[in-house]
């Protein structure tokens, strides 16, 4: 039998889901900047119709990759979080990997949020409200640090 004209399963076809990414036409800085980490996480977890595909893709692409080579929020998880959740990644001698075996952590904790995101689960309101609190503390911490940096630069300049 000759060539039937059927289309092989090319990389382009496998990545059809990319046309539906919620972040597709967004400013990439939103997913890179630490100040907008929480906003990016929400877009991934609540507004993106292809988070499952994105999560599988990033797990595959970053398997065993070092912490400093993982950038931005992807599938709702920051680079350091994805590193922490990948037991095969190097560098866990200082900070142990987070591996979810046995009983699930209590909802309303940061660990529970990471578990939901890493396993592709829906994030419940309790875990979100804890994350909103955590984000508020992070922002306050970043703002203080920025003020300190500005003060140090001003002191050097005077
Ligand atoms: S889950 Fe987030 S990073 Fe992945 S495609 Fe959707 S919006 Fe983009
Ligand atoms: Zn939860």
pLDDT of residue 3: 43
Q: How confident is the model at residue 88 (pLDDT cuts 50, 70, 90)?
A: very high
Mean pLDDT of the chain: 90
138 or 112, which is more confident?
112
pLDDT of residue 62: 97
Q: Is 70 in the pocket of ligand 1 (CB under 6 A)?
A: no
Place of tokens 């300049």: 157
27 or 12, which is more confident?
27
How much is the average pLDDT of 56-77?
96
Helices 110-118 and 125-157: angle between axes, nearest 10 degrees: 110
pLDDT of residue 12: 55
Percentage, residues of the chain above pLDDT 70: 91
Atom of ligand 1 nearest to the CA of 47: 7
Residues 6 or more apart whose Cβ sits within 8 Å of residue 129? 108
How much is the average pLDDT of 63-84?
96
Is 4's pLDDT higher than 70?
A: no
The residue contributing the CA closest to ligand 1 atom 8 is 23
What are the boundaries of each domain within the chain? 19-157
pLDDT of residue 13: 61
pLDDT of residue 15: 79
> Cβ atoms within 10 A of the Cβ of 39, count?
13
Q: Which ligand is nearest to the CA of 120?
A: 1
pLDDT of residue 2: 42
Q: Cα-Cα-Cα-Cα dihedral of 135, 27, 29, 111, to 10°?
A: 40
Q: How confident is the model at residue 68 (pLDDT cuts 50, 70, 90)?
A: very high
Q: Is 75 in the pocket of ligand 1 (CB under 6 A)?
A: yes
């Amino acid at each position: 039998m000759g060539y039937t004209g059927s289309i092989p399963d090319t990389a382009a076809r496998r990545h059809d889901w990319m046309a539906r990414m919620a972040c597709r036409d967004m400013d990439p800085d939103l997913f890179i900047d630490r100040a907008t980490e929480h906003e990016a996480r929400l877009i991934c977890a609540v507004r993106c119709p292809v988070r499952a595909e994105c999560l599988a893709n990033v797990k595959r692409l970053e398997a065993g990759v070092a912490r400093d080579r993982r950038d931005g929020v992807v599938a709702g998880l920051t680079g350091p979080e994805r590193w922490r959740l990948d037991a095969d990644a190097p560098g866990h001698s200082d900070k142990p990997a987070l591996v979810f075996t046995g009983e699930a952590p209590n909802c309303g904790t940061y660990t529970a949020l990471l578990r939901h995101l890493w396993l592709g689960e829906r994030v419940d309101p309790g875990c979100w409200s804890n994350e909103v609190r955590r984000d508020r503390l992070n922002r306050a911490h970043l703002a203080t640090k920025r003020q300190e940096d500005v003060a140090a630069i001003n002191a050097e300049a005077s």
